[in-house]
Structure 1
Amino acid sequence: MTEVYGGPRRQFVASHAVPPYFASAAGSTLTRPGLARERVDRWQARFVGADSGDEVHRFRGSRGLADFLGTLHVTSTDSAGFDAIVHSRRVGAITIVDCIATPCSVLRSTNEVVEPADAELVLLIPSSGGRLTMPGRPDQTFRAGQLVILSSAEPAEMSVTDVCETVMLTVPIAALGRESAGVLRRLSPISADTALVRATTTFLRRFGQTPSTRVTSERTTDAAQRAVIGLVTSVLAQQSYRAHSLVETTRSIRERTRELVERRFRDPDFAAPDVARELHLSRRQFYRHFAGSGTTPSDVIADRRVAEVRALLTDRPDMSMSEVARAAGFSSTSTMRNRFRDRTGVTPAEFRSQPPGEQWDSEPLGPGEVCL
């Protein structure tokens, strides 16, 4: 069921749904259908005196759930009790939506994304924490009041676990400059907690909750639009710099790790925690820099020792297996044999027994690879 809400001057139009990226989401079971009257009254009080250019939509029950975001897929654990009230307006090229809704989950699939040239930046400030899922990225969680930045050109699913009030602003990406679309694809949609992000979030929330009667003149509208675009552009630039800095730091940590391993791999007591200590990092911080690389610091050490074993087996046929193990930094011949076989597919003895020129001479195998 859908209905007019807020008086005769505010006409509900079913086809003019909220711009598609409000998500308040699945998980909670309501004790009674719909939104509590007291909470609705507090929420609506902000818009007393708003002019006829504002629109207030109310979506209720299963039919309201289906109409809520047009073509986007919206689900709820209590579809019959679904209830959402949406206040929307425009300030220049910016669409502003202030919404309160019972729990539901909103999915923008690949079928609902728009072309990059027509895409909008979608800024959301929810009153509840929740979860964001995007293809090709790990699931992320956000806190109440945290700024979430999405693009209508990318699929995503967003959810929270409680009745949620959300301020949303949509800005054409074209208005932010050519680089913004590319920057957005590289960044985490959950904004980092910096002074600039906190100030921007506060400004956007207050701006989104200001009735249109207070933003009326063309000069005021232009100034407000410039302020929003300027702040958003600054946040994107800062997040891009932070992401770039993290990549550079990770590259440096990996290079320094290999340098330390090269100097100390012959010490059988040398291990990944020793590298972390020398780099003044906690174990968790240290391993985080190898996430997604397909290897670990321990693998780096083991691979270097295996490479040394291969060189000694080839160049020093006079050395015993125990001598080779000690020279390569392995604590025992059995450890050397297991690591060598894991990475090459043959034991050190089998490798040495092969005729010169027929010994397997490519790089060591990675974890899970098999020598054929």
Structure 2
Amino acid sequence: MQALFDLDEDGAAAVALFSRVGWELDDVPANLRAGGDLLLADDFSVARIWHTPCRYAVRPIAVEDPSRFRASLIVEGSGVSAADGGSEPFEPGTLLIHDASRGAEILASTPVAAIHVSHRWSRILPPGASPDEVPRHLRPPEHYAAVLTAMVNATFEQRDVEDALGLDAWLAAIDSATSALLSTVVPSRQGDASRTLIEKAAALISERYADPAFTSAQIAVHLGVSTSQLYRAFAAQGTTPRRVLQQTRVRHAVMLLPPLATPAEAAAVAAASGFGTGRALRKALREERSGSES
């Protein structure tokens, strides 16, 4: 694991900074300036990189493993990404999925700050799915973008790279958030009719958990079944839709909560996780702790 923090580079050094996250830049203007923070491992890398407005061509490094997944979540700035004769605008909240076998031309009309994640497709995609099924340009649900951004920021803010166990936990959380981002856009190979009621409900919970008004009753309405039918299906798995919804919200809240969170921070996490208030979040955390201890 290699960690590089607080970088501020220009010229060739800025180009080298991009190469550390798997990109070779062509036709780069001489006044390119870039900086950021990087964590690099054998099979995973995550970075926060900013750069000045410019037009440049990007292509994967030749020796890069074609099975590698690469994406950029735009945090600040705007521009256009062009590939295969088409172009897509990007702005804050846009997730750019990069094809490992093709390059693209980037026109950044303003200074850009982005989170870059590199991993193996096999660790990100659901079983049986192909990278070809993933749109390279898409907008993820806002709460998933917030989760990924918060986790990456927390990773770099702690900067305790000597604690391998803690770092692995942070990277696993980023991995999970990235998987959640992609799971909303990767089509299932199974037809909708063949999916079980549990699978449909779980997918709906993953999409809607951040809405505090979303309830078990709405799951039943959306899926066109009775509440009792929904609860019977979950009971066969030893749980309830309400419990799965709460566990999903708690899991994402724990990912976002900083150590020794202030009341304001707890309230913000509660709002982003579907609890609505810090009090509701604290109650759910107590329930989950007591449930795991019993």
Q: Which residue number in structure 2 is paired with residue 131 of structure 1?
A: 80
Identity value in percent:
13
Question: Which segments of structure 1 move beyond 6 Å, counting only runs of 4 or more?
Answer: 242-245
CA contact (8 A) 1:180 1:236 kept: no
Q: Deviations over 1:308-362 (max 9, x none)?
A: xxxxxxxxxxxxxxxxxxxxxxxxxxxxxxxxxxxxxxxxxxxxxxxxxxxxxxx
Q: Deviations over 1:243-275 (max 9, x none)?
A: 999xxxxxxxxxxxxxxxxxxxxxxxxxxxxxx
What is the TM-score when the length of structure 2 is the normalising length? 0.51
CA contact (8 A) 2:129 2:188 kept: no
Q: Which residue number in structure 2 is paired with residue 191 of structure 1?
A: 138
Q: Which residue number in structure 1 is paired with residue 186 of structure 2?
A: 240
Deviation at 1:127, TM superposition (A): 0.8
Asked if 1:206 is matched to 2:150, the reply is: yes
Match of 1:161 among 102, 109, 112: 109
Deviation at 1:202, TM superposition (A): 1.0
Q: Distance in 2 between matches of 1:164 and 1:145?
A: 12
Asked if 1:146 is matched to 2:91, the reply is: no
Deviation at 1:93, TM superposition (A): 4.4
Counterparts in 2 of 1:74 and 1:126: CA distance versus 1, 3 Å? farther
Counterparts in 2 of 1:65 and 1:116: CA distance versus 1, 3 Å? closer
Q: Which amino acid aligns with 1:203?
A: V
Supply the RMSD in Å over aligned alpha carbons.
3.5
Q: Distance in 1 between matches of 2:123 and 2:136?
A: 19
Larger Rg: 1 or 2?
1
Q: How many residues align?
A: 185
SS in 2 for 1:241: coil
**Runs of 5+ unmatched residues, structure 2:** 192-294
CA contact (8 A) 2:8 2:34 kept: yes
Match of 1:82 among 32, 45, 61: 32
Q: Distance in 2 between matches of 1:228 and 1:68?
A: 21
Q: Deviations over 1:136-168 (max 9, x none)?
A: 6x2111222322222434322333201122221
Q: Distance in 2 between matches of 1:53 and 1:68?
A: 13
Deviation at 1:221, TM superposition (A): 2.8
**Runs of 5+ unmatched residues, structure 1:** 1-51, 246-372
Asked if 1:227 is matched to 2:173, the reply is: yes
Q: Distance in 1 between matches of 2:61 and 2:174?
A: 29
